[in-house]
Amino acid sequence: MSWDVFIMRFPPEVEAIDEIPEDWEPPSLGAGQEVRAVLAEVLPGIEYSQGGWGDYEGPGFSISTPVNEADDAPVAGVSLFVHGDSEAAARSALAVADALKARAFDTGSGDFLTAGCAQSAFDAWRAYRDRVLDQRGP
């Protein structure tokens, strides 16, 4: 089970995803090669598979992200699939968004992440994950 965060250059003036006009076209984050380079800067040691999946091992958490666009193809958005318990995970998601000059969207809560709420959003996801896993039992 992962905490899923989507990074995109969402319109800066919207406060909720349903405020985005239906005809809105997201601006590119850059070409595939550029986006992977930014991720490598923010997530040192990220490793990419042949299929374009990037895997990063942080202190107490990991992030998987598919960036399989060709080197020169535009990338509209980046998904981060976060696993683990470390509080550094929320900071890393925000760092990726900042480095890409974009915004992070928490798909679980349906809210944009900010420095003021990212940790509480991650904590809410951890609490949900723990409840679900506890209900499954051994």
pLDDT tens, position by position, 89-98? 999 999 999 9
The Cα 76–Cα 54 span in angstroms is 17
pLDDT, the chain, mean: 91
Asked if pLDDT for residue 138 goes beyond 70, the answer is: no
> Is residue 67 within 8 Å of 35, Cβ to Cβ?
yes
What is the value of pTM for the model shown?
0.90
Cα dihedral 75, 112, 1, 81 sign:
positive
Q: Which domains does the chain have, with CATH numbers?
A: 3-136 (3.30.1400)
Task: Give the pLDDT band (50/70/90) at residue 125.
Answer: confident
> What pLDDT score was predicted for residue 120?
86
Write out the H or E segment, with its range, that includes residue 135. Answer: helix 118-136
* Mean pLDDT value of segment 123-131: 84
Q: Could you tell me which residue, 132 or 60, shows the higher pLDDT?
A: 60
Dig out the tokens for 111 from the structure. Answer: 């809210």
Determine the Cα–Cα distance for residues 118 and 115; give it in Å rounded to an integer: 6
pLDDT digits (tens, 9 = 90+) for 14-54: 999 999 999 999 999 999 999 999 999 999 999 999 888 99
Q: In this model, does residue 118 exceed pLDDT 90?
A: no
* Whether residue 137 has pLDDT greater than 80: no
The tens digit of pLDDT for each residue in 67-109 reads 999 999 999 999 999 998 888 999 999 999 999 999 999 998 8
